[in-house]
Amino acid sequence: MLIKALCEYADFLEETIPEGWGYQDVSYMIMLSLEGDVTNIIDIREDKEEIGKNGKVKLIKIKKKILLPFRHNKSAIYSEIIEHRGKYIFGLQYDNKKLNSCDKKGKPYKDYIEAFKKKNMDFFEDISSEIVTAYKNYIKKWNNEQELNNELLLGLKNSLNSDGFCFALSGHPEIQLEKDEEFIKKYSQYIKAEFDNASVDENDYEFCGITGIKSKISETHDIIKFPVGNAPTYRMVSMKTDAFHSYGKKSSFNSGISETAMKKYTSTLNKLLSDKNHRIILGDLVLVFFAMKSDDSAECDLFSMMLGETREQQAAKTESGIHDVMKNAFGGVSGDAEAVMQKACDNDVTFYVAGLTANSSRICQKFIFRDKFGAVVGNLKKHQKDMHICNNSRPVYFSGIEKQLISPKATDQVLPPPLMTSIIMAALGGGKYPFGLLETVVRRVKTDSDEEGKNYIKLNDTRAGIIKACLNRKYGKEEITVALNEQNHDPAYLCGRLFAVLEKIQQESVDGTLNRTITDAYFSSAAARPSVILPKLIQLSKNHLRKLSEGRTVQFEKITGDIINALAGEFPRTLDLDGQGRFIVGFYQQKQAFFQKKTDDGKDG
């Protein structure tokens, strides 16, 4: 489904790449004199401002994509026509602040540069344009062993090893090798001849599972440049061992995808993954999204902002007014924000969201979601409304949910992709949240502890909102309201409220800051076995009440009396997971109510 959707999306973009060509990331332009000397190496990357995690603006370099002859995915030494890799072009690499003509194991780069020289001299031999003449002269006279102190290459540092290069005529950056008319004419003839002379095997031609047309099936699929993972190459479709072969078909002939469809989906997916307006990274999970139209920037801007994006993106869109859609999501969108959204976006367009992860050298599709864009936005607004609790007016992004489900003491822990996938699918489709979400957040609340200067690690609005959303969706009704509900007589909810009242009594009875509250000592036990813990704390609170004013004592006794009466004097022996969730929310909402209500004398009421 994803591959077919990517091919259809490519048709909307109407970007036709000539046969035998492909886009390649390039950072530097090598300027050649007619004699073949390297006169300069120009950085052609574009400067772009990006707001970092610390909120400061920093300048980053964006590589330029240029059309070059098709790149082959070969692990052995293999030079391309118009090479872009520094190892082949220069026969050198930068390491330890110097240029080396050998790799770290002492193996010379001689084979790379010789492959480059032979392939390109053979191809360009009969072309005599100025840029090609300069290119051939460079190939003839370049000697890597004599360039170990080349200042231009030393100035590139590690970029020499990793970035791409292109060629142009010195003083005329517009005269580029890959755009030379004589070269393009010959290369077109070369591609046509290769196709005409290719041996035809009827077994390689089948009906493509994507286009439905009988075509040559692709034996191997192009590399996907995935933004997460450590493998050098990734593919969506790959059969590397005999275990994946069937019906006598080898490699990716098993996939039934034609070369045309393969080129279309791989180039489109690479384009989406490289565009921050079409993808978001959540730990090990990468979300890719697009709308079936030629210009889906408005839809993708709004969607990425609702999921949780970079500060740079958010800052840019806040100025346009679209950010108000999220701020008003709790009570519905209205006014200028609604007008902006309706004008910019097509609510009837089909919208796709795919979740991808890296597994060894293969990309795994965790899910794909499709719906009308208006329905997706509506469900995400409902997701925000469900997560809303007490006086919290901040949107709850998926990155924020992920953070709350991981131990604050963990340094490199990430949320398992299956759990994050289920959370996102529930938000996009408006369904129930996964059991693992409630279980994980309850465990974190019971396990984590606040620290000095960090008072909202154990329980905060995001964690309480997640529990509220999980329970309400599970039972299909607003069992737990946004703010404190004194009419909610669920025993677990009442026990949580009572625990918050007892903590408040303890806090006000002490002149100064408590080193250890009853929450620090008894919270987890009380949430699991109220009948064991709460009676003890009630007895303890009588000592604390003696230290308070008469008026304050009466207030607290009334609150505790009302809660105990609603419980009919009986505390639950144990609470299951849902009950512990209700306990936590009752505790949180009662605490928030103490902060919000003020008496005339300035004390909490």
- Does 171 lie in the same domain as 137? yes
Where a domain ends, among 171, 197, 223?
Answer: 197
Does 281 map to a domain?
A: no
Is there a contact between 404 and 444 (Cβ–Cβ < 8 Å)? yes
DSSP H helices, 388-458, are 398-404, 417-429, 435-447
Which pLDDT score, from 0 to 100, does residue 91 have? 93
Which whole number is the average pLDDT over 21-45?
A: 94
Which pLDDT score, from 0 to 100, does residue 549 have? 92
Which pLDDT score, from 0 to 100, does residue 390 have? 87
- Does 237 lie in the same domain as 115? no
Where a domain ends, among 247, 265, 283?
Answer: 265
- Does 147 lie in the same domain as 59? yes
Which pLDDT score, from 0 to 100, does residue 54 have? 57
- Does 567 lie in the same domain as 509? yes
Has residue 330 got a pLDDT over 50?
no
Residue 244's pLDDT band, with cuts at 50, 70 and 90, is low
Residue 262's pLDDT band, with cuts at 50, 70 and 90, is confident
Split into its structural domains, the chain has a count of: 3
Which pLDDT score, from 0 to 100, does residue 600 have? 40
Q: Which of 228, 238, 226, 234 is nearest to 270 (CA)?
A: 226
Which pLDDT score, from 0 to 100, does residue 333 have? 43
Which whole number is the average pLDDT over 28-39?
A: 96
* Window from 272-281, 304-313, 355-364, 496-505 with minimum mean pLDDT: 304-313
Has residue 157 got a pLDDT over 70?
yes
Q: How far is CA 355 from CA 140, 344, 405, 449, in A?
A: 49, 25, 19, 33
Does 220 map to a domain?
A: yes
- Does 599 lie in the same domain as 550? yes
- 505 or 595: which leads in pLDDT: 505
Which whole number is the average pLDDT over 515-533?
A: 93
Has residue 341 got a pLDDT over 60?
no
- 487 or 218: which leads in pLDDT: 487
Where a domain ends, among 137, 168, 197?
Answer: 197
- Does 224 lie in the same domain as 146? no
Cα(396)–Cα(381) distance, integer angstroms: 11
Is there a contact between 367 and 355 (Cβ–Cβ < 8 Å)? yes
Beta strand 350-359 with 285-291 is antiparallel
- Report the chain's mean pLDDT, rounded to a whole number: 85
- Does 532 lie in the same domain as 514? yes
Which pLDDT score, from 0 to 100, does residue 562 have? 95
Which pLDDT score, from 0 to 100, does residue 599 have? 40
Sign of the CA dihedral 293, 298, 302, 307? positive
Residue 469's pLDDT band, with cuts at 50, 70 and 90, is very high
Sign of the CA dihedral 243, 244, 245, 251? negative
Which pLDDT score, from 0 to 100, does residue 163 have? 93
Which pLDDT score, from 0 to 100, does residue 151 have? 94
- Does 238 lie in the same domain as 137? no
- Does 244 lie in the same domain as 127? no
Which pLDDT score, from 0 to 100, does residue 213 have? 78
Does 351 map to a domain?
A: no
- Expressed as residue numbers, the domain containing 501 is 488-605
Has residue 348 got a pLDDT over 80?
yes
Does 423 map to a domain?
A: no
- Does 33 lie in the same domain as 47? yes
- Does 114 lie in the same domain as 150? yes
Does 301 map to a domain?
A: no
Does 507 map to a domain?
A: yes
Question: What is the residue type of 496?
Answer: G
Which whole number is the average pLDDT over 297-320?
A: 64
Does 371 map to a domain?
A: no
Residue 320's pLDDT band, with cuts at 50, 70 and 90, is very low
What's the pLDDT tens digit per position in 91-119?
A: 999 998 999 999 888 889 999 999 999 99
For helices 461-475 and 435-447, what crossing angle results, to 10°? 150
Does 513 map to a domain?
A: yes
Has residue 255 got a pLDDT over 90?
no
Beta strand 165-169 with 28-32 is parallel
- 117 or 408: which leads in pLDDT: 117
Which pLDDT score, from 0 to 100, does residue 588 have? 96
Query: How many other CB atoms are there within 10 angstroms of residue 202's CB atom?
Result: 6
Which pLDDT score, from 0 to 100, does residue 203 have? 57
Longest dimension (CA), the chain: 104
- Does 179 lie in the same domain as 81? yes
Q: Which residues contact 106 (CB under 8 A, 6 or more apart)?
A: none
* Window from 216-220, 283-287, 493-497 with minimum mean pLDDT: 216-220
What's the pLDDT tens digit per position in 563-584?
A: 999 999 899 999 999 999 999 9
Is there a contact between 472 and 560 (Cβ–Cβ < 8 Å)? no
- 231 or 583: which leads in pLDDT: 583
Tokens of 361: 């050298």
Has residue 52 got a pLDDT over 60?
no
